[in-house]
Copies of this chain bind each other. A is one copy, B any other.
Amino acid sequence: MQSDNCGPDRPAHPGIFPTREAGKSDHEPAERSVDFPVSVVLPAGGTGERTGLQTPKQFCSFLGRPLISYTVQTFERLSWIQSIVVVVAKEHMDLMTDIIQRFQHRKVRVVPGGSTRHRSIWNGVLALGGEAEGEAAAGDRPKVVIIHDAVRPFVEEDFLYKITMAAKEQGCTESDFEFGTECLHLALQYCGTNAKLIQGPPTLWKVTYKRDLAAAESIIKDALSQSACIITGGSAHAATLAGALQKAAGALDTELEVIPDLMGENASYLLKEWNFIRVSVNCSCLSEVEALLGDLEAADRALLHPVVVIWVHLSCSGESSISGGKVEPDVLMELASAAKLQNILLYGIQLQQSKEIERWERSVLKVMEITSALIRERSPALVGQLLQA
């Protein structure tokens, strides 16, 4: 039913949502080199009238994080972006400052907006000028200022690089002054910096109506659901299951990697946007998944997004059992409730190994379907459940 080749569960542009660690993700091209200072002004003073909501849309939350933080993250991850100024309405200064602290944004300053959008941009550009004057030599003054709608979170590095280089080479053209907005004048006059008004591609769409919130959430969820990492603990049975899951995942368009543990080089998985599947064989004591949760917390991996951890409990009747085959649902629920406070969503799946090939393949497919659904939906209501495959 959900296997339509045009179901809405896949984004048109799977890579458009940036990962936090620039250059580290497998889904992202290598970072561009920009050898001059670039700054960003994000006007975020809108009232969100058209969404029909009380909260302005830049402060609406997706998976527990406000939209504005996603937009900031998009720019912040690029090493060649020097500084970011977010311009918000006076009454939202405290809220915005809290967001910056909570999600540990660096490079960001907040300034109050003016009575119109253009006055707000003016304030932002003025803040950049002041920053360059007060804190650094003229060499650090931004050569290019990108003025970008705070409610257009899905902008790609390739595009930002292209427009930055174009702005550097062309300066402000006469036609920009003719057809552009006052922003260009402001940037030139008060910051001593060239500015350029940019026409964006369709991916640079603006969150405008309430239906756009659903589309944005879907894009974010898709981007976070593309890959998962199976940890086998070195068990041969677990590796067999992991191999079968990889095969099943191919049909579901999910990338699965299999590793024995998170030691050595594998620790780098903790720094990437992965979801985790921990397979335990005949061990129902949860100590293995507890260790994984500890690693994730130590790496502060769930700061920006909830991380999904799926504990798969495989019972093999022929094997000796370390701690008995029966899982206590209450214990899993308690562990999941604690993890949820750390923004880690823990779910359980149990399955029985079978020598009947057909039955085994059906179980494996079920594990994969459940896993995909849990990773995609990230439902807080279902954490701690022990599902059957």
- A residues touching B (Cβ–Cβ < 8 Å)? 1-2, 4-8, 11-12, 50-55, 57, 59-64, 202, 205, 209-219, 306, 329, 333, 343, 366, 369-370, 372-373, 377, 379-382, 384-388
In the bound complex, residues from chain B placing their C-beta under 8 Å from that of A11 are 210-211
B373/A2 in contact, CB under 8 A: no
In the bound complex, residues from chain B placing their C-beta under 8 Å from that of A329 are 388
Known: A214-B214, A214-B215, A372-B381. A12 touches B52 (CB 8 A): yes
In the bound complex, residues from chain B placing their C-beta under 8 Å from that of A63 are 1
A-B complex: 5 closest residue pairs judged by Cβ atoms: A12-B210, A214-B218, A8-B213, A373-B381, A211-B215
Docked Cα-Cα span, A6 to B58, in Å, equals: 11
In the bound complex, residues from chain B placing their C-beta under 8 Å from that of A6 are 51, 53-55, 57, 59-61, 213
A7/B373 in contact, CB under 8 A: no
- Residue in B closest to A343 when the chains form the complex, CB atoms: B1
In the bound complex, residues from chain B placing their C-beta under 8 Å from that of A219 are 211, 214
Minimum CB–CB distance from A344 to chain B (whole Å) comes to 12
Which of B202, B218, B306 contacts A218 (CB under 8 A)? B218
Docked Cα-Cα span, A259 to B24, in Å, equals: 56
In the bound complex, residues from chain B placing their C-beta under 8 Å from that of A5 are 53-55
- Residue in B closest to A4 when the chains form the complex, CB atoms: B61
Which of B54, B214, B385 contacts A387 (CB under 8 A)? B385
In the bound complex, residues from chain B placing their C-beta under 8 Å from that of A202 are 50, 209
A8/B381 in contact, CB under 8 A: no
In the bound complex, residues from chain B placing their C-beta under 8 Å from that of A385 are 385, 387-388
In the bound complex, residues from chain B placing their C-beta under 8 Å from that of A370 are 381-382
